[in-house]
Every structure is written in structure tokens, then in C-alpha cells.
Amino acid sequence: MTTNPTHRTRLARALADATGIPYQKSLSLAADAAEAGMLPSRLDPAGMRRALEVLQRHVGAGASALEPRYYRLAQVVPGRLQQGVPQRVARAAAAGMLLVRSWGERDPAEAGAVMPGDSGDAAASGWWHRVAAAGTRPDCILPDPYPPGHSPDRYLPLDRALDQRDATGDVVRYHRTLEGIVRREPRDIDAWAHLGNYYLDLAAPDRTPPLGVPPAGERQRRSWLRASLGCYQTAVGVAELALPDPFDGFLAWGHLDNRPFLRALHGMALALWQLDRFEEAEQTLLNMLWLNPADNQGARELLAVVRARVSREDTAQ
């Protein structure tokens, strides 16, 4: 056990699933315990159970699992915001941001949380136990940056941009339109998220570039990934202007005004994963599951891939 990295990896994943501790921290705990002679010499099924019990006692004695709250952008990517993100968020703050509204209290079952056993081991991992242990929480809705009556036909600028893209296939014009939207309304979380999607799509290694965009090599692909990450980080930072700190409520997918933020978090997790920033991607996915335990976006499946440190390229093979 003390010298087998595969065994340590398996044990670390089991500890992360059981406690909600990020995988990298779990791996460090498993390595330290093995070197201290605290773990069984063999990691057969019985040895795995004993080792996990030892580590869980150690966690309870000293190491802390995730607290029952949302972890803000500055905590997820400390010191690693993309260039321009603070300035964009500051513009949105200057425009004024309303706070989330609460529609009362809900428990995880009422919020549609995925129950253990619904989809195998992933649903029973530590994120679920953390959500269930927190119990009843406020059911919240993010503010809409566009007031009632903003548009006579009730169409948002993003809706028009998407309709135009779908009708013409002009992706380059769509990109320019998105940039115009966020210049005029920096609080438009959904437009920032779609701008992130634009760059993330360009960075897909198996994607044919749209008309007007030349093919690119690995260096350009990673540049597009960083551009997408900057847009997603902006969207998340803007949404956080509406959240009290700390924030311990739900932001359920069922409320339409919450979806842009949840889409931005999902895009951010994908970009971080593809940039091999696994620990930050893991915390982003845990944030998604904390806010929306119904997991309409499949965060728990990607969480398993990220915790296993499987790269985007490896999944495509």
C-alpha cells in the first residue's frame, strides 16, 4: 500500500467521495497516512474499508471537509483570474446589482436532489452527504438585469443574437454581437456565458472551425480555452455580486433566472478541466452540486472524471 500509487489513488477517490474533501487534499492525506504506517499493508476490499475508516477518523480529528456553503470565485481560483475579469466585474458592480430573492425554505428532497442509488456510486459521493447534512436552506432566485418592459416584444438581446446566428450561420457576426451586448450591459450573465461557449467551441480539438475562423494548432486552442475561462469567470463574478457572503442557499435550475449562472459555472468547470486545472474544476463542480443538487447539467459525472485526473484528450480516445 505504501508504495503503490494506484492504491493510493483509489483510496483518495474513496475518501473524497465519502467526505466531500477535494481529491488532491484526499490524496495528500492518504500519502501522509501511508508513510506514517497508519494504513493496512494490503488494499484488498477488507483493507480498503479499514484504511478508509482510519482516514475518516483522521479527517474528523483534524482535517476539515467543505463547509456547507457556496465557495466564491476568489476562493476557487485564488490569484488566477484571467486578465480583464476584475475590471469587467467592477463595471457590472458600478451599474448596480440587486440581491437574490428568497422564495422560502426548502429541504434537499424538495429541491429535487439526486438521491444515493439513483445513478450508482457518483450519486452517493460526498457532495450528496454534504447537501443532505445541511438540511433546509433558502430557495433563491438571481435578479434579471433587464427590467420589465425593457423590450416591447419581450425579446432579450441574446435571444435576437441566437436567432440571427441560427438563421444565417454567421458565427463571426454572432461573436461580434455578443461582445456588443456585454459592452452595453455588463450584468448580462447569460451573454458572458454564451461568449465563453463561443471560445470553448473553437477550442474543441475535433471541431471544424466556423466560416471565417482559420484552423488552429494546440497553442491557439489553449489561448481560446483561456479566453473562454475569462468569460465564464466574468459571468460567475457578476452573479456573485447578487449573493450575500457567505451564501448557503439553493439556486435551483427550475428558476429560469438561475440558469445563466449555472451554465457559466458548468462552462468554467469544462474550461478548467481542459486546461488540466483539476482541483479548481473539482471545486467548481462541487459548487454546482451545492447550489442545484438536482444536477440537471450532469456535474456529478464530470466530477468523477475530474477526480480521476482524466484529461479531455484521454476521454476522446
- Looking at residue 215, which CATH number applies to its domain? 1.25.40.10
Maximum Cα–Cα distance across the chain:
71
139 shares a domain with 54: no
From first to last of its 317 residues, the chain has per-residue pLDDT tens of 445 777 778 788 778 776 767 777 778 778 777 776 778 877 777 777 778 777 776 665 444 467 889 999 999 999 899 999 999 999 999 999 999 999 899 888 776 777 655 444 443 457 887 888 888 999 999 999 987 767 666 788 999 999 999 999 999 999 999 999 999 999 999 999 999 999 999 998 777 767 667 777 888 899 999 999 999 999 999 999 999 999 999 999 999 999 999 999 999 999 999 999 999 999 999 999 999 999 999 999 999 899 888 888 777 65
User: DSSP characters for 138-177?
Assistant: EEEEPPPSS-TTSSTT---HHHHHHHHHHHH--HHHHHHH
Phi, psi of 103 (to 5 degrees): -105, 30
Boundary (domain end) residue, out of 43, 61, 79: 61
3-class state of residue 106 by DSSP: strand
72 shares a domain with 37: no
86 shares a domain with 44: no
3-class state of residue 193 by DSSP: helix
H helix and E strand count, the chain: 14, 2
Residue 267 is part of which domain span?
A: 68-317
CB 52 within 8 A of CB 17: no
CB 196 within 8 A of CB 229: yes
76 shares a domain with 13: no
121 shares a domain with 149: yes
56 shares a domain with 187: no
Say if residue 246 is preceded by a cis peptide, omega within 30 of 0.
Answer: yes
154 shares a domain with 13: no
Please name which of 70, 134, 87 lies closest in space to residue 234, comparing C-alpha atoms: 87
| Whether the predicted model's global pTM rises above the 0.75 cut | yes
Length of the chain, in residues: 317
Number of independent structural domains in the chain: 2
3-class state of residue 137 by DSSP: strand
Based on its alpha-carbon atoms, the radius of gyration of the chain, rounded to whole angstroms, reads 21
